[in-house]
């Protein structure tokens, strides 16, 4: 049917899925960081926050600014308002994929992105990764246009300069995916004897010059002591976890939180055997993806786009290679979210493989493609709607803490302060204070000498009670579980303190 061959039909179908991806679930730990920027009353306060912040959020200035502007326009009273800006970035990504799909004769490419669990997950995060994914898709547009134009003209250069600059403003890690894309484009041009116009080179140099002030700002943040959290020893297990998240297996198997817990287990093999039933579908999806990509690309015969395929493979391989080597060598964790700018490259590679499958007459290959797409969509929908995969419930935990403080009870808060602040709970950091929840893991006093609290709110013990001090206090005294929320356990002192 002519309708199903129309790129507009598939783009519209993908765009219709976007509103389903954003929820009003509680903010999680990381989203609390964004909330602190959104809550700033004016632009001056926002800039001051950016200046004094010692966490990695200040190295994502465009994302924080767009979140703050969105808060000014929509308000910051509900969680969906913090996430709504992602609809803009998601639409930008789908538009870019539609343009790429037209070039590669894959009209349904936007919908392929729209059924990815990774895409659904980060569309529902008040974090910079939807922005990075959206701009990264336009970096891919620039590469595809460059190849199809055989380096002629300037349209591709303008796209690369603007998208590269925006991505650099969105994340300090932008030089890696953008640099690799430019390098691969230059390699392909050299390999084929193409020579870009002088004007196009000047446009690229202009984009590079525009990034210089931003680079100086990033250098300042590093000298100022800004750094990201290091909560995982980087080894082969970590690399496997990144693959698990990128391919979207968490929606049909063990959750990402469960995987993180397993990775820290001293008896990993035994734990994996116990949870084998939960790993059947992820292993099936993983195997099918490998077979699909290998079979589809091996049978792919569209010679006019082979350079695009080569470019995509090289960008993915080089970017992932640098991330993995640096992660293992420097013990710096580059999570799956850091691959957001090159995720559209992966989806396009998958689209090319599916195109190769479509040209085959073997029925089992057609069913293979359908099963993969069905599993991806199922995983994506589970991320959004499955109760077991809901976000950390800081909202309910904060409400419990606020109620306890209102009753004159003492509360120890072993969780992030930022989401708690968003939900209206006051916290103290260095020592206990009346009417405030006390964050014990930042205490300057020996908490073992303090009076026992009435309530202990515990989230991610490995992060907020790494030495088990509070958990030992609870085990030695009369504490019982009063409530459980997603990723939270709330304990109260049965002695009535």
Place of tokens 């004007």: 199
Tell me, yes or no, whether 206 and 228 share the same domain.
yes
* CB contact at 8 A, 316 and 347: no
* CB contact at 8 A, 443 and 431: yes
CA distance 100 to 311: 14
CA distance 258 to 487: 10
Q: Which sign, positive or negative, has the C-alpha torsion 328, 332, 336, 342?
A: negative
C-alpha of 265 from chain center: 25
Confidence class for position 436, pLDDT limits 50, 70, 90: very high
How much is the pLDDT for 2? 62
Averaged pLDDT, 83-105: 97
| Domain boundary pick from 344, 370, 389 | 389
Averaged pLDDT, 316-342: 89
Averaged pLDDT, 104-109: 94
| pLDDT over 60 at 304, yes or no | no
| pLDDT over 80 at 359, yes or no | no
CA distance 137 to 134: 5
The model's pTM is 0.93
Tell me, yes or no, whether 163 and 22 share the same domain.
yes
| Domain boundary pick from 389, 409, 443 | 389
Higher-scoring residue by pLDDT: 234, 16: 16
How much is the pLDDT for 301? 55
What is the total count of domains within the chain?
2
Tell me, yes or no, whether 154 and 43 share the same domain.
yes
- 411-414/455-459 β-pairing: parallel
Q: What is the 3-state secondary structure (H, E, C) of the chain?
A: CCHHHCHHHHHHHHHHHHHHHCCCCCCCHHHHHHHHHHCCCCHHHHHHHHHHCCCHHHHCHHHHHHHHHHHHHHCCCCHHHHHCCHHHHHHHHHHHHHHHHHHHCCCCHHHHHHCCHHHHHHHCCCCCHHHHHHHHHHHHHHHHHHHHCCCCCCHHHHHHHHHHHHHHHHCCCCHHHHHHHHHHHHHHHHHHCCCCCHHHHHHHHHHHHHHHHHHHHHHHHHHCCCCCCCCCCCCHHHHHHHHHHHCCHHHCCCCHHHHHHHHCCCCHHHHHHHCHHHHHHHHHHHHHHHHHHHHHHHCCCCHHHHHHHHHHHHHHHHHHHHHHHHHHHHCCCCCHHHHHHHHHHHHHHHHHHHHHHHCCCCHHHHHHHHHHHHHHHHHHHHHHHCHHHCCCCHHHHHHHHHHHHHCCCCEEEECCHHHHHHCCCCEECCCCCCCCEECHHHCCCCHHHCCCCCEEEEECHHHHCCCCHHHHHHHCCCEEEEEEECCEEEEEECCCC
Tell me, yes or no, whether 70 and 181 share the same domain.
yes
Tell me, yes or no, whether 385 and 402 share the same domain.
no
Tell me, yes or no, whether 105 and 236 share the same domain.
yes
How much is the pLDDT for 438? 93
Tell me, yes or no, whether 26 and 159 share the same domain.
yes
CA distance 176 to 323: 9
**Phi–psi pair at 450, nearest 5 degrees:** -85, 155
Which structural domain range is residue 27 located in? 3-389
| pLDDT over 90 at 456, yes or no | yes
Confidence class for position 232, pLDDT limits 50, 70, 90: low
CA distance 245 to 391: 16
Averaged pLDDT, 29-38: 94
Tell me, yes or no, whether 385 and 419 share the same domain.
no
| pLDDT over 80 at 320, yes or no | yes
**Phi–psi pair at 77, nearest 5 degrees:** -95, -20
Query: For residues 340, 345, 351 and 352, what is the CA-based torsion angle, rounded to 10 degrees?
Result: -160
Tell me, yes or no, whether 318 and 452 share the same domain.
no
* CB contact at 8 A, 75 and 81: yes
Return the closest-CA partner of residue 31 out of 384, 340, 420, 382. 420
How much is the pLDDT for 229? 59
| Domain boundary pick from 364, 389, 414 | 389
CA distance 75 to 135: 25
Tell me, yes or no, whether 53 and 136 share the same domain.
yes
How much is the pLDDT for 16? 97
- Residue-wise pLDDT tens digits, 269-289: 777 777 778 888 888 898 899
| pLDDT over 80 at 21, yes or no | yes
Tell me, yes or no, whether 226 and 178 share the same domain.
yes
How much is the pLDDT for 481? 95
CA distance 26 to 252: 22
User: What tokens appear for 401 in the block?
Assistant: 């803490």
How much is the pLDDT for 116? 97
Tell me, yes or no, whether 342 and 447 share the same domain.
no
């Amino acid at each position: 049917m002519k309708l199903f061959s129309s790129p507009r039909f598939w783009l519209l179908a993908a765009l219709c899925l976007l509103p389903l991806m954003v929820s009003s679930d509680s903010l999680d730990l990381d989203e609390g960081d964004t909330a602190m920027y959104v809550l700033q009353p004016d632009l001056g306060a926002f800039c001051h926050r950016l200046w004094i912040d010692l966490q990695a959020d200040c190295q994502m200035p465009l994302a924080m600014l767009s979140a703050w502007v969105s808060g000014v326009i929509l308000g910051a009273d509900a969680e969906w308002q913090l996430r709504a800006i992602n609809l803009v970035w998601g639409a930008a990504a789908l538009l870019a994929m539609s343009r790429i799909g037209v070039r590669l004769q894959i009209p349904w490419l936007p919908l392929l992105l729209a059924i990815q669990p990774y895409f659904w997950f980060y569309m529902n995060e008040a974090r910079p990764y939807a922005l990075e994914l959206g701009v990264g898709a336009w970096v891919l547009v620039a590469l595809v246009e460059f190849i199809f134009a055989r380096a002629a003209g300037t349209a591709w250069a303008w796209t690369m300069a603007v998208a590269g600059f925006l991505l650099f403003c969105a994340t300090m890690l932008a030089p890696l995916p953008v640099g690799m894309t430019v390098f691969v484009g230059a390699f392909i041009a050299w390999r084929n004897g193409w020579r870009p116009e002088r004007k196009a080179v000047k446009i690229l140099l202009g984009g590079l010059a525009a990034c210089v002030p931003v680079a100086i700002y990033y250098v300042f943040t590093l000298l100022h002591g800004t750094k990201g959290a290091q909560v995982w020893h980087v080894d082969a297990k970590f690399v496997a976890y990144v693959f698990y998240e990128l391919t979207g297996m968490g929606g049909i198997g063990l959750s990402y939180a469960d995987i993180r817990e397993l990775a820290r287990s001293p008896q990993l093999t035994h734990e994996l055997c116990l949870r084998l039933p939960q790993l059947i579908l992820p292993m099936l999806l993983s195997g099918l993806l490998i077979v699909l990509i290998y079979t589809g690309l091996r049978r792919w015969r569209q010679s006019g786009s082979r350079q695009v395929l080569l470019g995509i493979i090289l960008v993915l391989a080089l970017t992932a290679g640098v991330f993995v080597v640096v992660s293992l060598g420097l013990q710096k964790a580059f999570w799956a979210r850091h691959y957001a700018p090159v995720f559209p490259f992966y989806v396009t590679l998958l689209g090319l493989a599916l195109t190769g499958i479509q040209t085959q007459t073997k029925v089992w290959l057609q069913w293979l493609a359908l099963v993969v797409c069905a599993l991806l969509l199922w995983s994506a929908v589970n991320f959004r709607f499955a109760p077991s995969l809901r976000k950390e419930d800081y909202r309910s935990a904060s409400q419990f803490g606020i109620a306890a403080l209102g009753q004159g009870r003492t509360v120890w808060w072993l969780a992030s302060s930022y989401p708690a602040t968003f939900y209206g709970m006051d916290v103290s950091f260095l020592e206990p204070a009346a009417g405030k929840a006390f964050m014990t893991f930042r205490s300057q006093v020996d908490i073992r000498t303090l009076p026992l609290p009435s309530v202990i709110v515990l989230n991610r013990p490995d992060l907020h009670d790494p030495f088990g001090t509070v958990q030992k206090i609870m085990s030695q005294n009369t504490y019982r579980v009063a409530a459980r929320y997603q990723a939270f356990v709330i304990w109260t002192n049965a002695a009535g303190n």
